[in-house]
Structure 1
Protein backbone atom coordinates (compact mmCIF):
# COMPACT_ATOMS: atom_id res chain seq x y z
CA UNK A 1 0.00 0.00 0.00
CA UNK A 2 2.42 2.64 -1.16
CA UNK A 3 3.95 4.57 -3.99
CA UNK A 4 7.43 4.29 -5.37
CA UNK A 5 9.56 7.04 -6.85
CA UNK A 6 9.39 6.33 -10.57
CA UNK A 7 11.49 9.23 -11.76
CA UNK A 8 13.17 12.42 -10.70
CA UNK A 9 12.46 15.35 -13.03
CA UNK A 10 15.12 18.00 -13.48
CA UNK A 11 14.44 21.19 -15.46
CA UNK A 12 17.53 22.05 -17.47
CA UNK A 13 18.74 24.06 -20.46
CA UNK A 14 20.87 21.30 -22.04
CA UNK A 15 19.44 17.79 -21.53
CA UNK A 16 22.11 16.21 -23.77
CA UNK A 17 24.94 17.64 -21.68
CA UNK A 18 23.34 16.51 -18.43
CA UNK A 19 22.46 13.09 -19.86
CA UNK A 20 26.11 12.48 -20.76
CA UNK A 21 27.23 13.68 -17.33
CA UNK A 22 24.73 11.69 -15.24
CA UNK A 23 25.06 8.57 -17.38
CA UNK A 24 28.77 8.56 -16.64
CA UNK A 25 28.33 9.39 -12.95
CA UNK A 26 25.64 6.75 -12.32
CA UNK A 27 26.42 4.18 -15.06
CA UNK A 28 22.99 4.92 -16.56
CA UNK A 29 21.89 4.73 -20.20
CA UNK A 30 19.58 6.88 -22.30
CA UNK A 31 16.12 5.31 -22.16
CA UNK A 32 14.28 7.71 -24.42
CA UNK A 33 14.00 11.18 -25.91
CA UNK A 34 11.04 13.49 -26.43
CA UNK A 35 10.27 15.74 -29.39
CA UNK A 36 11.10 18.82 -27.31
CA UNK A 37 14.63 17.56 -26.57
CA UNK A 38 13.92 16.18 -23.10
CA UNK A 39 15.78 12.96 -22.28
CA UNK A 40 15.10 10.12 -19.83
CA UNK A 41 18.06 8.22 -18.43
CA UNK A 42 18.20 5.31 -16.03
CA UNK A 43 19.58 1.95 -15.03
CA UNK A 44 19.69 -0.70 -17.75
CA UNK A 45 16.53 -2.35 -16.39
CA UNK A 46 14.62 0.84 -17.30
CA UNK A 47 11.64 2.67 -15.88
CA UNK A 48 10.09 0.85 -12.94
CA UNK A 49 13.26 -1.18 -12.45
CA UNK A 50 15.84 -1.15 -9.71
CA UNK A 51 16.24 2.63 -9.49
CA UNK A 52 14.22 5.74 -10.30
CA UNK A 53 14.97 7.20 -13.70
CA UNK A 54 15.97 10.82 -14.24
CA UNK A 55 13.88 12.82 -16.69
CA UNK A 56 15.89 15.79 -17.96
CA UNK A 57 13.14 18.24 -18.91
CA UNK A 58 14.14 20.81 -21.53
CA UNK A 59 13.52 24.33 -20.24
CA UNK A 60 15.04 27.34 -21.98
CA UNK A 61 14.79 29.42 -18.83
CA UNK A 62 14.33 27.37 -15.65
CA UNK A 63 12.40 29.49 -13.13
CA UNK A 64 14.88 30.62 -10.44
CA UNK A 65 12.02 30.93 -7.91
CA UNK A 66 10.85 27.35 -8.39
CA UNK A 67 12.71 24.17 -7.46
CA UNK A 68 14.29 22.65 -10.57
CA UNK A 69 13.83 19.11 -9.27
CA UNK A 70 10.60 17.30 -8.43
CA UNK A 71 9.58 13.73 -7.74
CA UNK A 72 7.21 11.63 -9.82
CA UNK A 73 5.59 8.74 -7.95
CA UNK A 74 3.80 5.64 -9.20
CA UNK A 75 1.34 3.47 -7.33
CA UNK A 76 2.52 -0.05 -6.65
CA UNK A 77 -0.67 -1.85 -5.69
CA UNK A 78 -3.68 0.07 -7.02
CA UNK A 79 -4.78 2.16 -9.98
CA UNK A 80 -4.04 5.85 -10.30
CA UNK A 81 -7.51 7.03 -9.22
CA UNK A 82 -7.42 5.00 -6.00
CA UNK A 83 -3.89 6.18 -5.25
CA UNK A 84 -4.89 9.81 -5.86
CA UNK A 85 -7.66 9.48 -3.28
CA UNK A 86 -5.22 7.90 -0.80
CA UNK A 87 -2.67 10.71 -1.27
CA UNK A 88 -5.34 13.40 -0.86
CA UNK A 89 -6.51 11.71 2.35
CA UNK A 90 -2.91 11.78 3.61
CA UNK A 91 -2.77 15.57 3.16
CA UNK A 92 -1.69 16.09 -0.46
CA UNK A 93 -3.44 18.86 -2.38
CA UNK A 94 -4.09 19.23 -6.09
CA UNK A 95 -1.90 21.88 -7.70
CA UNK A 96 -2.55 23.98 -10.78
CA UNK A 97 0.60 24.74 -12.73
CA UNK A 98 -1.16 25.37 -16.01
CA UNK A 99 -2.13 21.83 -16.96
CA UNK A 100 -4.54 21.36 -19.86
CA UNK A 101 -6.54 18.58 -18.19
CA UNK A 102 -5.42 16.12 -20.86
CA UNK A 103 -2.30 14.98 -18.98
CA UNK A 104 -1.98 11.36 -17.89
CA UNK A 105 -0.61 12.47 -14.51
CA UNK A 106 -1.83 14.52 -11.55
CA UNK A 107 0.15 17.45 -10.15
CA UNK A 108 -0.02 17.56 -6.37
CA UNK A 109 1.59 19.34 -3.45
CA UNK A 110 2.74 17.77 -0.21
CA UNK A 111 1.56 19.37 3.08
CA UNK A 112 4.32 22.02 2.82
CA UNK A 113 3.57 22.92 -0.79
CA UNK A 114 6.31 20.95 -2.58
CA UNK A 115 5.07 19.83 -5.99
CA UNK A 116 5.15 16.22 -7.13
CA UNK A 117 3.33 14.21 -9.77
CA UNK A 118 1.35 10.98 -9.56
CA UNK A 119 1.90 9.06 -12.79
CA UNK A 120 -0.60 6.65 -14.33
CA UNK A 121 1.55 3.53 -14.74
CA UNK A 122 1.79 1.14 -11.80
CA UNK A 123 5.24 -0.22 -10.99
CA UNK A 124 6.30 -3.12 -8.84
CA UNK A 125 7.17 -2.56 -5.18
CA UNK A 126 10.92 -2.34 -4.55
CA UNK A 127 11.08 -5.83 -3.05
CA UNK A 128 9.57 -7.31 -6.24
CA UNK A 129 11.46 -5.16 -8.76
CA UNK A 130 13.76 -7.20 -10.90
CA UNK A 131 12.54 -10.49 -9.43
Structure 2
Protein backbone atom coordinates (compact mmCIF):
# COMPACT_ATOMS: atom_id res chain seq x y z
CA UNK A 1 0.00 0.00 0.00
CA UNK A 2 1.19 3.54 -0.73
CA UNK A 3 0.32 6.67 1.18
CA UNK A 4 0.11 10.36 0.46
CA UNK A 5 1.31 13.00 2.88
CA UNK A 6 1.37 16.69 3.60
CA UNK A 7 4.24 18.59 5.13
CA UNK A 8 3.29 20.33 8.38
CA UNK A 9 5.27 23.25 9.77
CA UNK A 10 4.74 24.62 13.28
CA UNK A 11 4.12 28.35 13.38
CA UNK A 12 3.16 31.09 15.82
CA UNK A 13 1.30 32.93 13.01
CA UNK A 14 0.26 30.32 10.42
CA UNK A 15 -1.65 32.62 8.07
CA UNK A 16 1.19 35.10 7.71
CA UNK A 17 3.70 32.28 7.21
CA UNK A 18 1.45 30.57 4.63
CA UNK A 19 1.33 33.84 2.70
CA UNK A 20 5.13 34.11 2.84
CA UNK A 21 5.71 30.55 1.65
CA UNK A 22 3.06 30.77 -1.09
CA UNK A 23 4.88 33.83 -2.42
CA UNK A 24 8.29 32.16 -2.01
CA UNK A 25 7.25 29.07 -3.98
CA UNK A 26 4.81 30.64 -6.42
CA UNK A 27 2.05 28.50 -4.86
CA UNK A 28 -1.48 29.33 -3.70
CA UNK A 29 -2.89 29.74 -0.22
CA UNK A 30 -5.87 27.41 0.04
CA UNK A 31 -9.10 29.37 0.07
CA UNK A 32 -11.24 29.47 3.18
CA UNK A 33 -14.92 28.52 3.19
CA UNK A 34 -16.27 31.30 5.41
CA UNK A 35 -19.84 30.01 5.17
CA UNK A 36 -18.71 26.61 6.48
CA UNK A 37 -16.81 28.22 9.36
CA UNK A 38 -19.83 30.38 10.30
CA UNK A 39 -22.10 27.32 10.17
CA UNK A 40 -19.74 25.39 12.48
CA UNK A 41 -19.77 28.27 14.98
CA UNK A 42 -23.54 28.81 14.74
CA UNK A 43 -24.27 25.12 15.37
CA UNK A 44 -21.85 24.93 18.32
CA UNK A 45 -19.38 22.62 16.58
CA UNK A 46 -16.70 25.30 16.88
CA UNK A 47 -16.29 28.41 18.98
CA UNK A 48 -15.60 32.02 18.04
CA UNK A 49 -12.18 31.53 19.68
CA UNK A 50 -11.41 28.87 17.01
CA UNK A 51 -11.50 31.56 14.34
CA UNK A 52 -9.66 34.71 13.43
CA UNK A 53 -9.65 37.20 10.59
CA UNK A 54 -6.81 37.31 8.08
CA UNK A 55 -6.75 39.81 5.21
CA UNK A 56 -10.42 40.53 5.84
CA UNK A 57 -11.52 36.87 5.66
CA UNK A 58 -12.81 34.63 8.44
CA UNK A 59 -10.34 31.73 8.85
CA UNK A 60 -9.59 28.91 11.24
CA UNK A 61 -7.10 30.12 13.83
CA UNK A 62 -5.34 26.74 14.02
CA UNK A 63 -3.77 26.79 10.59
CA UNK A 64 -3.42 27.68 6.95
CA UNK A 65 -2.28 25.62 3.99
CA UNK A 66 -0.68 26.20 0.63
CA UNK A 67 -0.78 24.06 -2.48
CA UNK A 68 0.97 23.81 -5.82
CA UNK A 69 -1.05 25.62 -8.50
CA UNK A 70 -1.17 22.39 -10.54
CA UNK A 71 -2.68 20.45 -7.65
CA UNK A 72 -1.85 17.68 -5.20
CA UNK A 73 -0.51 15.38 -7.92
CA UNK A 74 2.33 17.85 -8.54
CA UNK A 75 3.49 18.36 -4.94
CA UNK A 76 2.29 17.69 -1.39
CA UNK A 77 0.22 20.26 0.45
CA UNK A 78 2.05 22.30 3.10
CA UNK A 79 0.13 23.05 6.29
CA UNK A 80 1.21 25.71 8.78
CA UNK A 81 -0.23 24.87 12.19
CA UNK A 82 -0.50 27.14 15.20
CA UNK A 83 1.70 26.22 18.16
CA UNK A 84 2.16 28.29 21.33
CA UNK A 85 5.93 28.08 21.59
CA UNK A 86 8.50 29.80 19.35
CA UNK A 87 11.04 27.81 17.36
CA UNK A 88 14.11 27.23 19.52
CA UNK A 89 16.34 24.66 17.80
CA UNK A 90 17.46 23.72 14.30
CA UNK A 91 14.87 21.97 12.16
CA UNK A 92 15.47 18.24 11.65
CA UNK A 93 13.64 18.50 8.32
CA UNK A 94 13.58 21.42 5.93
CA UNK A 95 12.43 22.24 2.41
CA UNK A 96 14.86 22.60 -0.50
CA UNK A 97 13.66 25.07 -3.12
CA UNK A 98 14.96 24.11 -6.56
CA UNK A 99 14.86 27.18 -8.77
CA UNK A 100 15.00 25.45 -12.16
CA UNK A 101 15.79 28.06 -14.80
CA UNK A 102 15.61 30.98 -12.33
CA UNK A 103 18.91 32.26 -10.96
CA UNK A 104 19.13 30.98 -7.36
CA UNK A 105 21.01 34.12 -6.25
CA UNK A 106 18.09 36.25 -7.47
CA UNK A 107 15.63 34.01 -5.62
CA UNK A 108 17.73 34.24 -2.43
CA UNK A 109 17.83 38.04 -2.62
CA UNK A 110 14.05 38.20 -3.23
CA UNK A 111 13.38 36.01 -0.19
CA UNK A 112 15.74 38.05 1.97
CA UNK A 113 13.94 41.22 0.87
CA UNK A 114 10.69 39.57 2.06
CA UNK A 115 12.05 38.70 5.52
CA UNK A 116 14.25 35.62 5.18
CA UNK A 117 17.67 35.58 6.85
CA UNK A 118 20.80 34.17 5.20
CA UNK A 119 22.32 31.46 7.41
CA UNK A 120 25.14 30.07 5.27
CA UNK A 121 26.35 28.95 1.85
CA UNK A 122 26.97 25.27 1.15
CA UNK A 123 28.82 23.31 -1.48
CA UNK A 124 29.29 19.65 -2.32
CA UNK A 125 31.23 19.00 -5.50
CA UNK A 126 29.55 20.97 -8.29
CA UNK A 127 26.39 21.59 -6.23
CA UNK A 128 25.88 24.80 -4.27
CA UNK A 129 23.04 26.06 -2.10
CA UNK A 130 22.13 28.86 0.26
CA UNK A 131 20.52 28.07 3.59
CA UNK A 132 18.03 30.66 4.79
CA UNK A 133 15.57 31.00 7.64
CA UNK A 134 12.00 32.07 6.90
CA UNK A 135 10.53 34.97 8.95
CA UNK A 136 9.72 32.54 11.83
CA UNK A 137 13.14 30.85 11.81
CA UNK A 138 12.40 27.68 9.81
CA UNK A 139 15.33 26.65 7.66
CA UNK A 140 15.15 26.24 3.89
CA UNK A 141 17.72 25.83 1.16
CA UNK A 142 17.74 27.43 -2.27
CA UNK A 143 19.55 25.64 -5.08
CA UNK A 144 19.39 25.17 -8.84
Does TM, normalized by the shorter one, top 0.5? no
- TM-score, normalization: structure 1? 0.41
Structure with more contact order per residue of length (Cα contacts < 8 Å, sep ≥ 6)? 1
- TM-score, normalization: structure 2? 0.38
Q: Which has the higher helix share?
A: 2
